[in-house]
């Protein structure tokens, strides 16, 4: 009986270890309480190429910091505008091989938290998959879903909700 309990505990620990390793995610960048990245730069940015600066947390300031991809309600397919933005990002990543990209998927508040987390992940993955087809190594791209947790506009109107259905891009070294 004792041997069965011991084996069970070993298997449980092994399964727990596997699941926890699969769920770990390296968080890149630090945002303030509004979710905006600190745009300040220090002395170490003096030797960087024009249009690129190093934020304190390791996040790189790029021309794409304010660019977002927006989605229709309950959808994760890319619009023509979204594809154009991603094409420009792919070109930038090809020019800057030292950079990696984290794609944040966001949703409006309609739907359950669980559903919105899954939808946000599908949105981030749609952008990642497009970049991979453009020749960017998938190992350089991370995805994270915030679901409805970080709205761009807290309003309760269709206009506000449309701003919240988005992907955002965080570049880092």
Instruction: Tell me, letter by letter, the H, E, C secondary structure of 19-86.
Output: HHHHHCCCCCCCECCCCCECCCCCHHHHHCCCCCEECCCCEEECCCCCCEEECCCCCCCCCHHHHHHH
User: What's the CATH code of the domain at 110?
Assistant: 3.30.1330.60
Each residue's pLDDT tens digit, 114-165 = 999 999 999 999 999 999 999 999 999 999 999 999 999 999 999 999 999 9
Across the range 38-45, mean pLDDT stands at 34
Residue 152 is classified by DSSP as S
Question: Is residue 12 one of the residues assigned to a domain?
Answer: no
Question: Is residue 122 one of the residues assigned to a domain?
Answer: yes
pLDDT at 158: 97
First to last CA, the chain: 53
Question: Is residue 57 one of the residues assigned to a domain?
Answer: yes
| Helices and strands, counts by H and E, the chain | 4, 6
Across the range 21-33, mean pLDDT stands at 38
> 168 with 70: CB under 8 angstroms?
no
Question: Is residue 38 one of the residues assigned to a domain?
Answer: no
Full domain range(s) for residue 123:
52-172
Report which of 99, 139, 95, 103 is spatially closest to residue 121, judged by C-alpha positions. Answer: 103
Show the tokens assigned to 163: 């701003």
- How many domains are there within the chain? 1
pLDDT at 123: 98
HSE (side-chain half, CA atoms, 13 Å) at 29:
27
Question: Is residue 41 one of the residues assigned to a domain?
Answer: no
Question: Is residue 165 one of the residues assigned to a domain?
Answer: yes
Question: Is residue 11 one of the residues assigned to a domain?
Answer: no
Each residue's pLDDT tens digit, 60-114 = 898 888 899 999 999 999 999 999 999 999 999 999 999 999 999 999 999 999 9
Question: Is residue 127 one of the residues assigned to a domain?
Answer: yes
């Amino acid at each position: 009986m004792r041997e069965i309990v011991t084996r069970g505990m070993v298997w449980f620990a092994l399964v727990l270890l596997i699941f926890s390793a699969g769920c770990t995610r390296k968080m890149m960048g630090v945002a303030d309480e509004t979710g905006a990245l600190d745009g300040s730069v220090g002395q170490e940015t003096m030797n960087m190429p024009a249009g690129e600066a190093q934020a304190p947390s390791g996040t790189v300031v790029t021309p794409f910091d304010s660019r977002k991809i927006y989605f229709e309600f309950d959808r994760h397919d890319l619009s023509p505008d979204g594809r154009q933005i991603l094409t420009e990002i792919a070109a930038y990543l090809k020019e800057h091989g030292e950079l990696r990209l984290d794609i944040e998927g966001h949703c409006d508040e309609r739907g359950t938290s669980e559903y919105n987390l899954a939808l946000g992940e599908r949105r981030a993955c749609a952008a990642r998959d497009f970049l991979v087809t453009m020749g960017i190594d998938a190992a350089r791209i991370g995805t994270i879903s915030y679901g409805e947790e970080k709205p761009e506009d807290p309003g309760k109107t269709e206009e506000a909700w449309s701003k919240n259905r988005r992907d955002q891009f965080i570049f880092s070294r």
